[in-house]
Homo-oligomer: A and B are copies of this chain.
């Protein structure tokens, strides 16, 4: 493969932006899964998997391109970390959706609706921030807002788990719903890790 440094720089940032857009789509599908009835959920899960699969391919292209690029626009390790942390976000969103379908739960706790709203905002902010990585300018509002969203998500998570233990008398239903809420909270945490990674790169490079 011939190496065109400038083109590769563009292509690397484009692939990060593309991964972020897959996250926006995936969080939208997760919301649809949460609002759907049991029958629709199975087919929506396929849509979510397709999104995850596309993001996976984009991540592999990204890794190959890092390896094929002699001088990378950011530290090689930083790029790898950005890619793999974004990959973690997608995996956790995908697993949350899977879990809902696999457990054949009916109506989901209110916390799930509130958490998917947080996830959608995280994905949207991430997708808006990625194109600014190139200049590393105006990034601070991104990680500040993600941290606020994560704090809010944490309160929803706690209240949701607390209510579950008070109201859900059937232990098997409790196990299922607890795990779904936990997986959604883990996905929000992954978005926070991504924002922290961006912060530490931006602080170091600026």
Contact = CB atoms under 8 A, between A and B. Distances in A.
Interface of A: 63-64, 67, 98, 102-104, 158, 161-162, 165, 171-172, 174-176, 178, 200, 203-204
Contact of A171 (B67, B175, B203, B204): B175
Copies of this protein chain in the complex = 3
A31 to B, nearest CB: 22
Contact of A162 (B64, B102, B165): B102
A194 to B, nearest CB: 15
B161 A67 contact: no
A200 B67 CA distance: 9
A104 B172 contact: no
Nearest to A178: B175
A102 B104 CA distance: 27
Contacts of A172: 165, 171, 174
